[in-house]
Each structure stands twice: as structure tokens, then as C-alpha cells.
Structure 1
Amino acid sequence: MTSKTVRPPARRRTGIGAVLAAGSLALTGLAFAPAAAAVTPPSATISYNCGVFGGGSTVLTVTQNGTSATITVSSNIAAPLPLAADSIATTLTLAKAGGGLVTFTGNKNPATPTGGLVTVGPLNGTVAPGDSLEAGGGTLKMVLFGITVTCTPTGNQSPGPFVF
């Protein structure tokens, strides 16, 4: 008995080939697709005056994922007492080019000993593509032990505004 090789009809081979070609093109397109736009600069420095609580040079570090952005604030504000983790309610407002404010909020912070420098964040906010945000013109408010500490900027941030 002789065996014959059974081949699928030509139209089936063509269909499978087309699917494989389309899949290859799609993967190639993904490989060469531009990376998602990121905020620039990724961090900036600004000085805040927090009244009797001190102040000074503060670093704002930003990340972006689509229209969501987070900011971590590393301050020169010394903790007046030991601070428990996630015990500081924080609101950071940034001035938007063209007018208005964008607000970032959260209650995340590491545990901080008395005299340790206060770091808060990530603080969450919503941005739009092309937003240009500057800490100068906004405020940093932190609620510690029921007391609101309001910090005002003493100049513009360096190296410049965050552009999303």
C-alpha cells in the first residue's frame, strides 16, 4: 500500500500564511513604536518657607503613566516629633502654565524619627498631555498631628517646569 501526503486546500494555506504575515507585521510595529511620552524633567528643586516649621530646598520627583502622575516630595523640614508611616495628609498644588492649579494628594510617608527630614509621596494627580506645571505659584500643605503646615515657594523650581 502506498501512502499519500494529504495537503490542505490551497485557500487554507493562503489564509494561514496571511495570518502569520499580519502577526509578524504587528510585532514589528510594536518593536518600532515610539516609547510613551514621559515627564521632563523627572525631578526639580524648589525652596519652600514653612514658617516656624522651617523649610529650604525641596526635591520634587515626578513619574507619569498616561494621564496619571505621582510626585514624591523630599523636604528639608525636620520632623518635630516621631512620625508614623502614612500619617501625613499632604496636598501639593502646582501652577499650570496659562492659569489654574493642578492638585496632587496622598497620605504616604515613611516613618520618620524626631529631627529626621520629612518625605511624603507618592502624591497622586491627573495631568493632560502638554501640561506645564511649576511649583512656584502653588503650595505644599501637610497635616501633622492635626496641625496644618502650609509651605509657600520662595522662587521658581529649577531646572524648570514639569512638562507632561
Structure 2
Amino acid sequence: MRSGSRNRNVLGTAAVLAGALAAAGLAFAPGAYAVSPGSATATYDCGSWGGGSATLTATQSGTSATITITSAVKTPISVGKDTISSTLTLAKAGGGTRVFTGTKNPAIPANTSVTMGPLSGTVASGDSLNSYFAGTALKMVIFGVTVNCDALTSQSPGPFVFS
């Protein structure tokens, strides 16, 4: 009967170890990161290049975040893939800014809305970021020509809040 008792002890110890390992795995698993809302719109004025509503879509992975912008600005000529240098500056609630940059865009046919991104930046947990602030919110360099865009409205439905 001793061997039966020993088997139960071994099985019990194995079960406790398996449970402890599972709990430790959960404790050290990476946290889920989310930005809310995932998408927002804002109105921009890009001077002689036009303006209007733009859609911003945000994603987050830890302290890294990306934003893709589909703007109301239309390019008068075709633009090749990854040829627009973009800088998006977002106002941080409580002061300061966060900057997202990149040279990522799809090939854009003439007279089509410009899409940029994903633009990369760094965020901190709790950052609340909005494109509406004093200064140039969006800067694009297309074929060496700089296009500055001012945000005319706050983002709707609200600023991006990062976790």
C-alpha cells in the first residue's frame, strides 16, 4: 500500500507544481495594450493643398504606437509607394506633445486622397493625445514640397487614450 500512497503523493505534488507554473506564466505574461478609440476624425487645413476631414487610426504595442492617416488632401499627381515623409504631432493632455513619423504610404493615383502610415511614435500608459493644438499638426513632404496642415477641430469621438 505504500507504493499507492507514494503514487498519490507524486501525483499531488505534480498537480501543485503544474498549477504554480500556470499561475507564474499568467503573472509574467505580457499585458494587453489597447488604445481607445481605435479610430477618430479631425478636420485639417493644408493651405493651397486643400483640407477637410481626415481619419486617424491608432494601434499600440507596449510603449510603441502607430497612427495611419487617410486625409482629405488629394495629390494632383501620382505618388509612389513610401515616398511621402510625414510628421504628425499630437497634443498631450496636461502639456507637451508626442510625435509620430514615417515614410510609409501606398502608391497613390492622381486626384486621390493621401494615405500615410503607419507612422511610429512612443507613448506612455495614460497618454491622452489629440491632433488639435496650436501649430502644425501634420507635415508632409511630397517630392520635396512641404505641406503643413493645421488641425481645425479636436478629434471625434475624442482623443486617443493609450493603456
Q: TM-score, normalised by structure 1?
A: 0.85
% identical equivalent positions: 54
Alpha-carbon distance between aligned partners in 2 of 1:158 and 1:83, rounded to the nearest angstrom: 29
- Which residue in 2 is equivalent to 1:146? 144
Aligned match for 2:73, one of 73, 77, 89:
77
Cα deviation, residue 123, structure 1: 0.3
| Number of aligned positions between the proteins | 155
Q: Considering only aligned residues, what root-mean-square deviation do their CA atoms show, in Å?
A: 2.5
Cα deviation, residue 37, structure 1: 3.3
4+ residue runs of structure 1 moved beyond 4 angstroms? 12-17
- Which residue in 2 is equivalent to 1:105? 101
Alpha-carbon distance between aligned partners in 2 of 1:69 and 1:99, rounded to the nearest angstrom: 19
Structure with the greater alpha carbon radius of gyration: 1
Alpha-carbon distance between aligned partners in 1 of 2:64 and 2:85, rounded to the nearest angstrom: 19
- Which residue in 1 is equivalent to 2:16? 21
Please say which of residues 82-91 and 136-145 is displaced more in the overlay. Answer: 136-145
Please say which of residues 106-115 and 134-143 is displaced more in the overlay. Answer: 134-143
- TM-superposition CA deviations, 1:128-160 (whole Å, max 9, x none): 000010110161000001011000011111011
- Which residue in 2 is equivalent to 1:44? 40
Letter in 1 for 2:22: L
- Which residue in 2 is equivalent to 1:3? none
Identify unmatched segments of 5+ residues in structure 2. Answer: none
